[in-house]
Structure formats: C-alpha cells, structure tokens
Amino acid sequence: MWKKIFGGGSSNSERTEKAPAGANPLYDRINWQRLPRHVAVIMDGNGRWAQGKGLIRTAGHKAGVKTLKDVLKTAIDLRIEALTVYAFSTENWKRPRPEVEFLMKLFSEYLLKELEEMNDYNVRIRFIGRMEGMPEGLQRQMREAEALMKDNTGIRFNVAANYGGQDELIRAAQSLARQAAEGKIAPEDIDAEAIEQELDTAGDPPVDLVIRTSGDQRLSNFLLWQSAYAEFYFTDVNWPDFTPACFVDAMVDFAGRDRRFGGLTNK
Ligand code: IPE
Ligand code: IPE
Ligand code: MG
C-alpha cells in the first residue's frame, strides 16, 4: 500500500489524469480528473472506538495514528495537493488532563517516528494553530520538522494543533489592524487575498472537501474561512477504522458532486 506507486511524492503540476499502469487496484474507482485539490479531515471518534471495544479512550488515539499514516499515504498516491488534519482544537483543553497529556506525548512520538519517512516522501509538513500554546519541547520538534521539510515539493500536510478557526481569524484581523495602524496598509487594502495571506494555511488552495468521521455533522471550529465552498462528507466510521478504501469512497462521492459556486453550472 505504502509503495511509491507514482514514484514518490510530487508536486501537483506532475499530477496525471489517469492512474499509471500497475497502480493499486484500490484506485480503480477513482476519477482522476475530479479529485479534490485540498482535503481537510476531522479525525473524530477515537474515544468512541475505544469505548466500543471496552478499552480506555487513549487506546483510540493510539490506534488513530496508524489511520493517519495510511490516509496520508493514500493522499500522496492520489496526488492530492494539500491535506489538512484536525489533531487538537483550541477547545480540546477542556478534556481531562491525563488525556491531554497523553495526546501531547503521542504527537511528539509521532513526529519522532514518522519524520524521516515523511521527508523521504517529499511531504511538506506545517503546523497550523497557536503553536505557542503547546508544550515547549513539542514546539521545538514542530519547528524542526517544518524546517526539515520546508523546501519539499510534495503534498502540503497541515496538522492543526491548538487550532481554532475563530482564533485563526482573530490573529489575522489583529495582524492586519497592526499593519494598518503602522501605516503599512490602508483599510481598503484588506480584501479576501489579504486575509488569506494572514491565515495559517496561506499559499494553499481553498478546501474542496471536508471529511468528518464518527457520525457527528459539524465543523467544530475547523477551517471556517477555508471551507467557505467546501463539499462535506460525513461517515459513521470511527477514525481508527477509517481505511484507505474509506478515503477512496470519499473521493468517489466527491467526484459526483455538482459544484456550482453560486452559478448555474459547475463550469
Ligand atoms: C478525536 O477523537 C481526537 C481528538 C479530538 C483529539 P475524540 O477523542 O474526539 O473521540 P470521541 O469523539 O470522543 O469518540
Ligand atoms: C474535533 O473533534 C477536534 C478534533 C478532531 C481534533 P471534537 O471531538 O473535539 O469535537 P466536538 O467536541 O464533538 O465538537
Ligand atoms: Mg470527538
């Protein structure tokens, strides 16, 4: 599965319109002309997955790490340009301290373990959210990972940690207000492009598809600006059970959507 079917991570400009010969049969159902450029995933249901098996919630988080690895690899195979995953929200601090601490430790382990392989696959990792709110050691690891992969040209992999869509917009507004107060920009210069440039996802295409696992149908403060015209795909499958085949199901569903963007046709 995690084979370099397409010769490893590559930029979207090299994206083929068809699956190359010898590709994984899992991808037979893919419509290569109608794949999303930017997929966002709300990885939900780890706790419910664990509870359903009589395990403690944190066992679900651990199992979810493997799913994330498989989904990232699938997205690379499909030459998705950007993948943004929701790992920890600004609201998740409300959880019991041991669970929060477990998650922070898991992120740190994940980075240590997966860094080199991600780099080999030409992944460009970026952490979105209020990084300074994370434990210091983890912040250092995050910055190092970003620095290591900053020039990679493959998938843009955004990990949302201590992220909230409203918080991101507040930070953007404050930065623009500061620039206006300093006379660097005029209030009229603040347009959609100026706001986008201030967001943590600056430079990425808009989100085409938001996937949320585990049955709830809400955004939970994820990518509020970026998802303005996204399609939504909800599945009852809990995140640890979300396989590459489930990801392909979402791609097939997306290919059948009629995206009109306010017009009358999708052209
Ligand atoms: C998602 O799974 C992971 C994080 C929010 C960190 P949950 O932990 O929210 O699992 P459920 O929704 O309680 O089942
Ligand atoms: C959203 O899931 C955040 C992440 C997946 C990291 P939550 O489980 O925190 O969302 P709510 O509480 O159900 O809205
Ligand atoms: Mg949840």
pLDDT tops 90 at residue 10: no
**Average pLDDT, integer, range 168-180:** 98
Strands (E), 149-199: 156-163
Give the full edge-to-edge strand order of the sheet including 38-42: 124-128, 156-163, 82-89, 38-42, 209-212, 231-234
Mutate to test the pocket of ligand 1, among 48, 66, 102, 241 (most ligand atoms within 8 A of CB): 48
Domain boundaries, the chain: 37-163+207-255
- Mean pLDDT is lowest, of 4-13, 61-70, 153-162, for 4-13
For ligand 2, which residues put their CB under 6 angstroms from it?
42-44, 86-89, 92, 216, 218, 220
Output the residue whose Cα is nearest ligand 2's atom 14.
Answer: 220
Q: Give the pLDDT of residue 12.
A: 44
Torsion sign over Cα 231, 267, 265, 262: positive
88 pocket-lining for ligand 1 (C-beta < 6 Å): yes
Ligand nearest to the CA of 57: 1
Pick the catalytic residue: 12, 24, 92, 221?
A: 92
> 21 in helix, strand or coil?
coil
Residues in the chain: 267
**Average pLDDT, integer, range 185-189:** 98
CB count, 10 Å around CB of 81? 20
Is position 204 annotated as part of the catalytic site? no
Is position 152 annotated as part of the catalytic site? no
Q: What is the mean pLDDT of the chain?
A: 93
Read off the pLDDT of residues 40-53 as tens digits, 9 standing for 90 and up. Answer: 999 999 999 999 99
Question: Would you tell me which CATH number, out of the four given (3.40.720.10, 3.40.50.720, 3.40.50.2300, 3.40.1180.10), belongs to the domain 37-163+207-255?
Answer: 3.40.1180.10
pLDDT tops 60 at residue 13: no
Residue 20 burial (10 A CB sphere; 0-12, 13-18, 19+): exposed
CB count, 10 Å around CB of 54? 7
Read off the pLDDT of residues 77-125 as tens digits, 9 standing for 90 and up. Answer: 999 999 999 999 999 999 999 999 999 999 999 999 999 999 999 999 9
Read off the pLDDT of residues 142-170 as tens digits, 9 standing for 90 and up. Answer: 999 999 999 999 999 999 999 999 999 99
Is the CB of residue 18 less than 8 Å from the CB of residue 32? yes
Output phi, psi for 26, to 5 deg: -55, -25
119 labeled part of a ligand binding site:
no
- The strand pair at 156-163 and 82-89 is best described as parallel
> 128 in helix, strand or coil?
strand
pLDDT tops 60 at residue 265: yes
Structure-block tokens of residue 2: 């995690």
255 Cα–ligand 1 center, Å: 28
**Torsion angle of the four alpha carbons 9, 14, 19, 25, in this order, in degrees rounded to the nearest 10:** 10
- Taking the C-alpha atoms of residue 139 and residue 38, their distance in angstroms, rounded to an integer, is 25
Percent of the chain, pLDDT > 70?
91
CA 180 from chain centre, in angstroms, equals 31
Q: How confident is the model at residue 20 (pLDDT cuts 50, 70, 90)?
A: low
- Taking the C-alpha atoms of residue 233 and residue 250, their distance in angstroms, rounded to an integer, is 7
Ligand nearest to the CA of 91: 2
Is the CB of residue 145 less than 8 Å from the CB of residue 152? no
Structure-block tokens of residue 74: 């699938």
CA 202 from chain centre, in angstroms, equals 14
Which has the higher per-residue pLDDT, 23 or 189?
189
Q: How confident is the model at residue 1 (pLDDT cuts 50, 70, 90)?
A: very low
Could you report how far apart the first and last alpha carbons of the chain are, in Å? Answer: 35
Q: Give the pLDDT of residue 247.
A: 98
218 labeled part of a ligand binding site:
yes
